[in-house]
Chains A and B, each alone.
Chain A
């Protein structure tokens, strides 16, 4: 029962480096989301996807790109990391348009120096 799995769990980057966070879900969910969590800000939506091959911008999309080449995977990319992108990133997925309940991964802590 893996649910939603995020890799890596922790990463330290230097300003300007690039990296990709991988989110994988084994629940056959159509919808997937990337959030970032910052102190005092709650969770803010970065990008989301309503199905394989589709992506859309959330509240704070700048500096990030995403891809959903396979239904089970949702990738979040940082092309040129900045200290402002130091955060905890959560991936989530959902199956229902009725309740909207999200199933979350365990989070990935990213530090940009």
Chain B
């Protein structure tokens, strides 16, 4: 069974500092994808970054990077130079194939990040 674990319920970080949000996963499938979503207080889910299990390089999207360590089954999100607008709930998710052959996502419980001015 697929499982995502986020062990940090909440984090407080000073503005402009870098922050790492932890995510570990468990799967026996050789092919999978790892995602990070941001959920601000307004409630919508915003896609941030994606890493495929066969990708050789860590994914980067602007200030977001995914520190993918396959042997350790971890997919930590790194936000560089944090901003007040980064305050939100962050979810790590993993895709896997359903019986129909389509991708489904399983989510972690989330980390609430608060940026302090």
Contacts and interface: CB of A to CB of B under 8 A. Distances in A.
Interface of A: 30-31, 33, 35, 40-45, 48, 50, 54, 56, 58-59, 88, 90, 92, 94, 96-104, 106-107
Given A94-B103, A106-B43, A100 B98 contact: no
Interface of B: 4, 9, 33, 35, 43-45, 47, 50, 52, 91, 93, 95, 98-110
B91 A100 contact: no
Contacts, number: 70
B44 A100 contact: no
Contact of B100 (A44, A50, A94, A104): A50
B97 to A, nearest CB: 8
B40 to A, nearest CB: 11
B43 A42 contact: no
